[in-house]
Chain A
Amino acid sequence: MRRARGRRGAAAFVAVPAAVALLGGCGIQETDVIEAGGPASFQAFLDRDYDMLLFFRSPDGGLSTVIRTTGSPSADTAGPVPTEKVVSALLAGPREEDRAAGLTTALPTLGRGDTVKVEPAANGRVTTHLPIALKPLDDTALRQLTCTIAYSQDADGQIVVELRGQDGTSRSGTCQLAPGGTSLPETGD
């Protein structure tokens, strides 16, 4: 008798928290961050004949994209803005409107006289000679350079970029910004 009553008591002790747990999740609960589809693409009105795509540094350490127009189509060739010009613009640093948005650069600023030399792309690979030393550059700076050059050379940015510095250092890599984009191997097609 007493044991039966004890068992019944134990059952009640199990049932009550169970009911409380069932009813406890009432109302709307918080959730974790849940992934929901891809990003949203918006109209940027990018015209590769007029516009340059430059990558600067955000305050949070990431890269922010800037579209800078050259005002007129490139005079000499009917095609995209030449990469030398784009890299020079990048090395010239953020303009006032860029700085107003909090953008900075991790690259040293370059004087007017120094020139950038870009070898024609071949085999999905482009080599750029830069009038700066590569060794002291940090990761953000290298990504700025690589991505700017990659998107200047290829609309999809799918190209291996080799950087040659004034100090003889060379670096190569791909710009890995695209969502879901795969980086090309060193010896791409």
Chain B
Amino acid sequence: MSTGTGGSTGGTGARRSRRARAFGLRTRLLLAFLLVAAVSAGTTAALTYREARNAVLQTAQDTAVTSFRDQVQQTAFALPVQGGDDLDALLRDIARRGKPHPWVVFAEYGSVRASSGENAESTVITPELRRAARADPHGSFERVVKDGVPYLTIAMPMVFKTGPYSLVPSGLVLYAVMRMTDEQVNVDALLMAARDGALPGLAVALIPGLIAARSVLRPVRELREAARSMGSGRLDTRIPVRGSDELADLAHTFNESAAQLDHSVRELRDAEARARRFASDVSHELRTPLAGMLAVTEVLDEDADHLDADTARAVRLVSAETGKLAVLVEDLMEISRFDARAAELNADEVDVAETIRKTLDNRHWTDTRIRTELPDGIRARLDPRRFDLVIANLVGNALRHGGAPVTVRLRTEASSEGRAVLVTEVTDSGPGIRPEALPHIFDRFYKADAARTRSAGSGLGLAITLENVKLHGGTIRAGNLPGSGAVFTVEIPLHAEEAGG
């Protein structure tokens, strides 16, 4: 029962710790460092990139607009502008000298459309740019992305001088369209550089993250190990106190608490040991006078017939009670040996059926009150004396408190862990054990029947049986049969590797 509970709590604990590990301190610290590094590196890289990109584009645009204006200002046009090969050649000439890259030049005047390229009208120039150029005689440009290719489109309304101070718009508008492929390459290179700068930053940020996580996690791990070690009984466990931070404080407090706990537990153990030694000493001290008393009461018992009736009854009572007292003292001493862990298992390879038969024969339980189902040939490593006590106690209890017939069954089966176990069942045909008594049936001095306070047993029989079975590394269960009658089941490993404690 107790091992089952322990196992299940251990299971949930392990599950909890594993789930915590997935989002544990180390992960959280690393994530925090990464987040900070990512935000700072990302922001810096993004801002730098944007400034550099804008500068690259600004330079290209300014160069293009200025050089376009310079080029067209050196050109002569007749008004009205006549479309045709001459105009195309003129535009091609302007286009060739384009800076920073060659551009395609378009001319629009009235309904005349001409260009230095193949198409007379551009598909890139937007209506907004046209409207701006016509409405207001100002140079203007617009960046257009078409099919993923960025273009710079410049509109230049043409004016000419009529007098010293005045310029007249001619109605002619020249457009230049320039692919910004080089700029795009430069901008992409900038982006690459920003990314290549930011990513190693993130990788470098992992190192302080790992160091910080380690500095926190190592004390935590030590603390956990120490706590586990203490839980398994090593109360002298202490952890090294390093530095003077909060974790060192924690370690210090842990050590202090461990010392106090160690002290308290040692005191408790000492007290318990003293109590046990006292019980053991008492039973030892009682044994010698009891031996003398037994000898005397035996003599008195034999002579009781010659005494008068009242005296004879008193003498027999004294004799019987002295016998019970002797049994009680023997049982107490046996229990004391178990408590002092002085009980030893003298295991021997025996035929189990044979051993049980011998037990029953020795107690003269050979009549019809006892039924046996003892298959031959089952061999196990047992302490014959202790196994004899177990069987004798169970059968004796069954005869005393249950009802005949009492059945002793022997079999082997595989336990839940897959090990072969020897199963011995003792069932009686009595009224069974009261359910409320079942959990306490193996307790010392527990009387299942409150009315029967003065039974033949010492009250220690089942407790000693339990200790003997435990010494074999086995278990014992008490229960009731479906019909009526109690059943005691003893399970002992057939091949106990370590049958002690």
Q: B180 to chain A: closest CB distance in Å?
A: 6
Which chain A positions have C-beta within 8 A of B223? none
Question: Which candidate, B76-84, B265-273, B280-288, B307-315, is the interface stretch facing chain A?
Answer: B76-84
Contacting pair B191 A26 (CB below 8 A): yes
* Chain A contacts for B143, CB-based, 8 A: 28-31
B163 contacts A36, CB within 8 Å?
no
For A44, give its contact among B156, B161, B165 (CB under 8 Å): B161
Report Cα–Cα, A43/B188, bound state, in Å: 41
Q: Which of B50, B143, B162, B168 has the most CB of A within 10 A?
A: B168
Give A70 to B272 CA distance when docked, in angstroms: 137
| Beta-carbon contact of A36 and B65 below 8 Å | yes
Contact A44 B79 (CB under 8 A): yes
Q: Which residues of B contact A44 (CB under 8 A)?
A: 76-79, 160-161, 170
Partner of A101, one of B61, B80, B132, B184: B80
Residue in chain A with minimal CB distance to B23 = A5
What residue in chain B is nearest A25 (Cβ atoms)? B50
Q: Inside 8 A of A64's CB, which chain B residues have their CB?
A: 80, 109-110, 170-172
A32 contacts chain B at the CB level, 8 A cutoff: yes
Say how far A110's CB is from chain B's closest CB, in angstroms.
20
Highest count of chain B CB atoms <10 Å: which of A29, A41, A43, A181: A41
Contact check, B163 vs A37: say whether CB atoms are below 8 A apart: no
Chain A binder among B35-43, B237-245, B381-389, B463-471: B35-43
Could you tell me the distance in whole angstroms from the C-beta of A1 to the nearest C-beta in chain B?
11
B161→A59 contact, CB < 8 A:
no
A45 to B162, CA, bound (A): 9
In the docked arrangement, what's the CA distance between A45 and B160, Å?
9
Establish whether residues A151 and B162, one from each chain, have CB atoms under 8 Å apart when the complex forms.
Answer: yes
User: Does the CB pair B160–A42 fall under 8 Å?
Assistant: yes
Cross-interface CB contact of B110 among A28, A35, A41, A58, cutoff 8 Å:
A58
Beta-carbon contact of B43 and A46 below 8 Å? no
Which of A42, A97, A103 sits near B75, CB closer than 8 Å?
Answer: A42
State the majority secondary structure of interface residues on A. loop
Complex contact A42–B142 (CB within 8 A): no
A39 & B159 in contact (Cβ 8 Å cutoff): yes
In whole angstroms, how far apart are the Cα atoms of A88 and B322 in the complex? 161
Report B234 CB to chain A, min CB distance, Å.
31
Instruction: Tell whether B299 is near chain A: CB-to-CB under 8 Å.
Output: no
Instruction: Give the CA-CA distance A48 to B154 in the complex, in Å.
Output: 32
User: Is B405 located at the chain interface by the 8 A CB criterion?
Assistant: no
C-alpha spacing A58/B68, complex, angstroms: 25
The CA-CA distance from A37 to B134 in the complex, in Å, is 15
Residue of A nearest to B81 (CB): A101
Residue pair A33, B132 in contact (C-beta under 8 Å): yes
Asked whether B79 lies within 8 Å of A67 as measured between CB atoms, the reply is yes
Docked pose: A22 CA to B191 CA in angstroms:
12
A133 sits at the interface (CB 8 A): no
A183 to chain B, nearest CB (A): 13
Closest B residue to A59 using CB positions = B111
Q: Does A122 contact B (CB under 8 A)?
A: no
The residue on A at minimum CB distance from B195 is A23
Asked if residues A39 and B76 are in contact (CB atoms below 8 Å), the reply is no
**B183 adjacent to chain A (CB < 8 Å):** yes
Residues of B within 8 A of A62 (CB): 134, 171
**Residue among A23, A32, A39, A101 making CB contact with B157, cutoff 8 Å:** A39
Q: Is A158 an interface residue (CB 8 A)?
A: yes
Given contacts A38-B137, A102-B110, contact A15 B35 (CB under 8 A): yes
A28 to B184, CA, bound (A): 7
Contacts of B187 in A (CB 8 A): 27-28
Cα-based distance from A41 to B159 in the complex (angstroms): 5
Complex CA–CA separation, A102 to B110 (angstroms):
5
Which residues on the A side are within 8 Å of B171 (C-beta)?
A: 58, 62-65
- Docked pose: A72 CA to B123 CA in angstroms: 44
Q: Chain B CB within 10 Å — which of A42, A66, A97 has the most?
A: A42
CB neighbours (8 Å) of A84 from chain B are none
The 8 Å CB contact of B139, one of A22, A26, A38, is A38
Chain B 248-275, CB-CB to A under 8 Å as 1, else 0, gives: 0000000000000000000000000000
Count contacts on A: residues with CB < 8 A to the other chain: 55
Q: Which of A58-99 contact B (CB under 8 A)?
A: 58-60, 62-67, 97-98
Q: Are A53 and B162 in contact (CB-based, < 8 A)? A: yes
Instruction: Check if B414 is an interface residue, CB within 8 A of chain A.
Output: no
Contact across chains for B160 and A41 when beta carbons are under 8 A apart: yes
B115-130 interface mask toward A, CB cutoff 8 Å, 1 = contact, 0 = none? Answer: 0000000000010110
Decide yes or no whether B72 CB sits under 8 A from chain A: yes
Q: 1/0 per residue B81-97: CB within 8 Å of A?
A: 11100000000000000
- Pick the contact of A59: B43, B74, B110, B165 (CB < 8 A): B110
Q: Are A41 and B139 in contact (CB under 8 A)?
A: no
- Measured in the bound complex, the distance between the Cα atoms of B139 and A7 in whole Å is 52
Known: A15-B39, A37-B138, A101-B81. A179 touches B163 (CB 8 A): no
**A39 with B156, Cβ < 8 A, contacts A66-B80, A98-B80, A101-B110 known:** yes
How far does the Cβ of B156 sit from chain A's closest Cβ, in whole Å? Answer: 5
CB under 8 Å from chain A, chain B span 35-81: 35, 38-39, 42-43, 46, 50, 53, 57, 61-62, 65-66, 68-69, 72-81
Cα(A103)–Cα(B76), bound, Å: 20
Chain A residues lying within 8 Å of B137, measured Cβ to Cβ, are 38-39, 179
Produce 1/0 per residue, A1-31, CB < 8 A to B: 0000000000110010001001101111111
- By a CB distance below 8 angstroms, the chain A residues around B183 are 28
Please determine whether A32 and B142 come into contact, CB atoms closer than 8 angstroms: yes
Offer 9 A-B interface pairs, CB within 8 angstroms, sorted by A. A31-B142, A35-B139, A40-B72, A41-B167, A42-B170, A53-B168, A65-B160, A156-B165, A178-B168
B residues contacting A by CB (< 8 A) are: 35, 38-39, 42-43, 46, 50, 53, 57, 61-62, 65-66, 68-69, 72-83, 109-112, 126, 128-129, 132, 134, 136-145, 150, 154, 156-172, 174, 180, 183-184, 187-188, 191
A sample of 17 more A-B contacts (CB under 8 A), given A59-B111, A63-B171, A157-B162, is: A11-B35, A28-B150, A28-B180, A28-B187, A30-B142, A35-B132, A35-B136, A36-B140, A38-B137, A42-B159, A42-B160, A46-B161, A65-B79, A66-B80, A101-B82, A179-B138, A181-B166
Minimum-distance CB pairs A-B, first 3: A102-B111, A155-B163, A64-B171
